Structure 1
Amino acid sequence: MANFSIKETSNKPTLKALSFFSGCMGLDIGLEREGIEVLLSCEVDKAARKTIEKNRPDIALIGDIRDYCATQIRETAGLGSYEDIDLIVGGPPCQAFSSAGKRRGFNDERGNVFLKFIDSIVELRPKFAVIENVRGLLSASLKHRPHNLRGANHPLLSQEEKRGGALLHIIRQLKEAGYSISFNLYNTANFGSPQCRERVIIACSRDGEKLPYLTPTNSENGLYGLPKWRTLREALEGLPKEEHDFVKFPEKRLRYYRLLKPGQNWRDLPVELHQEAMGSSYHAGGGKTGFYRRLAWDKPSPTLLTHPAMPATDLAHPEEDRPLSIQEYKRIQEFPDDWLIQGKLLDQYRQVGNAVPYSLGRAVGRMIQTYLSAEQPESFQDFPYSRYKNTDDVSWMYEILGYSEDSIGEQLCLSLS
């Protein structure tokens, strides 16, 4: 998969797209393979901008989305005032909604960038818009109240402070602009990626017709007769063993790694070494499976992070005594080997770790092209798109609000102050 040429083209009709929060263009490469031409990228990260300029020098490139109005974006992309835009895509910074952070949502500076992105979609009026984000968006509130200010001795949560408020606000903005909304939480392994990475994809259509969910191409253990999930071994096949660039584990941690086999973690160390290896983390809650974790050859990789050697989220090579290299990161995220990631090594890890896998980009492109051709997409009843339940728009709406999407109108009146 990773050895395809970036020059290959699709025989499908070419659509015009604008890409925001483009990073190192993982999503965009997938779209390109489905006949979608990216006219403009938007990115503020200096290293990622260099990556875009290196690999796609002919694409228009802008910086902070907040510095541009709709007219300026059109002009920079070479589009006329009334020229139709087929697609706008973007994955706004996710830290404001991540369950691992403070979850300040739209009160976070990065959350406000998300709102600007929604405003830009409404102003630019593309035929389709696709928004990618983390699972935490499904439960993030519009206004976050710290947990120490909740409970019996505090006022009840307002509607804006309840889970799901942030996404409800986004839905309201887009529906008021005439867009249909369809979303789900997807495990990228179900679309051919050699990685279990879960992301929310929100698909919007200007014609008001609800778009279908993405069509899986793979399944765990061959469910529905689909090919099985791709493995780490398949992803790294043919990758030269020499000239890998990687950060290093400290010697005190390597001592324990040398005792582990592919697919093992700290629990597989001799019992008498557990507390010594884990230190204060030994008494922490949770499964702690990310500590001293060697990846398994015959399974997809876990979610790639922006650094492969953090103690609680290690991503160690199955056999070699080191973290995954940047070359292996690229293969797992499905970048072509000739796609050149720019910047220092930690900049490269950050870019690739934040990227959207190529296969998920292709799935988005296929869904749009299939819809435009009026073809009926292949469907698999009750397909387990992710490991979580009630993550599709219909089930989510019922769980959050207690009623179906048909009666959503008057209830989506949350305001942001």
Structure 2
Amino acid sequence: MSYKKYYDNRDVISLFSGAMGLDIGLQEAGLNVAIGQDFEPACVKTMKANGHNVLGGDIREIKPETLLEMTGLKVGEPFMICGGPPCQPFSTAGKRLGINDPRGSLFMDFIRMIDYIKPRFFIMENVKGIVSAPLKHVPADERDGNDPEQQLGTVLDVILSEFNKLGYKTVYGILDAVNYGVPQFRERFILIGSRDNEDVFLPVPTHFQMHQDPNYRWKTVGEAIKDLEDEDGECGKLTPERKKYLRMVPEGGNWKDLPKDIIPVAMGGAYESGGGKVGFYRRLSYAQPSPTITTAPAQKATMLCHPVKDRPLSVHEYARLQQFPEGWIFTGTTAAKYKQIGNAVPVGLAKAIGEAVIAVADKNAVVETKRFRGTSIHNRIRNALELGTYSGKIAAAML
């Protein structure tokens, strides 16, 4: 079946939309999010509060025909389906228990929608742990090479196999948002697919730890939130005890910077536990990008506290680190707002991904690599950054 007559379409169907970080970035790249979908009532209310077309409810009970009817689109017409099917068991944080088979998860509903709707492209995002997560996790001391269930492969093997069955050409990788102008270290698994065998590619990094042009350097917490320093705003609360210990921590520090005799008391039971415990009494640094923001910045083990104020980051500051537009409305309790923002894809990363797909769609992705041969290293870097194309990526690799 030919879909050529739909090639000018830029409409996107967003699934598992959350607070719409991915969607906002795609829209900033030039796409049109025709509808969003989510199960969480607070997320649905947030989308509606910001004027977006929304279909709330359990995706397992949603028919693809309904999404098409609500957008006025036909099979094969949407430019893209995007989303991040919840795959918490695949996270590198915590234990991976049981059989984490995506064939029995919401991932298959993402597949179901793509199979029926047949968008020209899809974007799937997820935690980076999905790349290495086995279908059955077994502790090292209990592994049995003769157990067929322990030889099932990885979650990623199944995901790629399912998209291959649908006939989509795919490319995937782990992208760190800090390399795309986001003031935050945040690694996400990104998978892009093309229905029509187009040469999809991952976006080329645009920002670097060191660069002669300040515009291309990593963005810092100070650049994102320092103007809000005197605006406490809506914010989680620290207990008096936690606040007392936080006052002893310098900018950019954590529990390790507390006086030695106080550390055992301040840490409590966590003092004897393993792991790096970097989140305990953690203050951000104005001079550095933020670590990956969590969904609970006031909790003892996942603190994300202001560089100079004795409090967690505010909801407004959280939104700044994820690059939500000023005035974006988040609904629900303070905890619900933190969760929505903390789970979002940073807008700058989403925009870069959208621009990469649009470059393919506009046939701007293929440039002769010989164009870069014989040029100075400085020009090759500049060209790679400006092109943002597959050939730009090749050029960067040639440096």
TM-score under structure 1 length normalisation: 0.82
- Measured in 1, the distance between the counterparts of 2:123 and 2:280 equals 35
Classify the secondary structure of the residue corresponding to 2:105.
helix
The answer on whether the counterparts of 1:204 and 1:211 sit within 8 Å (CA) in structure 2 is yes
Match of 1:272 among 235, 245, 261: 261
Q: CA RMSD of the aligned region, Å?
A: 2.4
- 2:236 maps to 1:236: no
Structure-to-structure mapping, 1:127-166, within 5 angstroms: 127-142=120-135, 144-147=136-139, 150-151=142-143, 154=144, 156-158=146-148, 161-162=150-151, 165-166=154-155
Structure 1 gap ranges (5+): 1-12, 384-417
> Which stretch shows the higher mean deviation, 123-132 or 215-224?
215-224
Structure-to-structure mapping, 1:386-405, within 5 angstroms: none
Q: CA deviation at 1:97?
A: 1.1
Q: Percent identity?
A: 39
- 2:109 maps to 1:119: no
**Which position in structure 2 is the counterpart of 1:103?**
96
- Measured in 2, the distance between the counterparts of 1:105 and 1:351 equals 27
Q: CA deviation at 1:149?
A: 7.5
Match of 2:172 among 183, 190, 202: 183
**Which position in structure 2 is the counterpart of 1:205?**
194
Q: CA deviation at 1:209?
A: 3.4
The answer on whether the counterparts of 1:264 and 1:295 sit within 8 Å (CA) in structure 2 is yes
Q: CA deviation at 1:183?
A: 0.5
- Measured in 2, the distance between the counterparts of 1:111 and 1:322 equals 41
**Which position in structure 2 is the counterpart of 1:25?**
20
Match of 1:322 among 306, 311, 322: 311
Classify the secondary structure of the residue corresponding to 2:228.
coil
- Measured in 2, the distance between the counterparts of 1:114 and 1:108 equals 9
The answer on whether the counterparts of 1:105 and 1:140 sit within 8 Å (CA) in structure 2 is no
Residues 192 and 267 of structure 1, relative CA distance in 2, 3 Å threshold: same
Structure-to-structure mapping, 1:160-309, within 5 angstroms: 161-162=150-151, 165-222=154-211, 227-239=216-228, 241-242=230-231, 244-309=233-298
Residues 60 and 349 of structure 1, relative CA distance in 2, 3 Å threshold: closer
Residues 365 and 315 of structure 1, relative CA distance in 2, 3 Å threshold: same
Q: CA deviation at 1:163?
A: 8.2
**Which position in structure 2 is the counterpart of 1:359?**
348
Q: CA deviation at 1:219?
A: 1.1
Structure-to-structure mapping, 1:42-121, within 5 angstroms: 42-57=37-52, 59-80=53-74, 82=75, 84-104=77-97, 107=100, 112-121=105-114
Q: Considering Cα pairs closer than 8 Å and 6+ residues apart, tell me whether 1 or 2 has the greater RCO.
A: 1
> Which stretch shows the higher mean deviation, 14-23 or 236-245?
236-245
- 2:320 maps to 1:331: yes
Match of 2:300 among 287, 308, 311: 311
- Measured in 2, the distance between the counterparts of 1:141 and 1:382 equals 31
Q: How many aligned residue pairs are there?
A: 365
Q: CA deviation at 1:210?
A: 3.8
The answer on whether the counterparts of 1:138 and 1:164 sit within 8 Å (CA) in structure 2 is no
Letter of the 1:156 counterpart: N
Q: CA deviation at 1:226?
A: 7.0
Q: CA deviation at 1:321?
A: 0.7
**Which position in structure 1 is the counterpart of 2:373?**
none
Q: CA deviation at 1:98?
A: 1.1
TM-score under structure 2 length normalisation: 0.85
Structure 2 gap ranges (5+): 1-7, 366-388
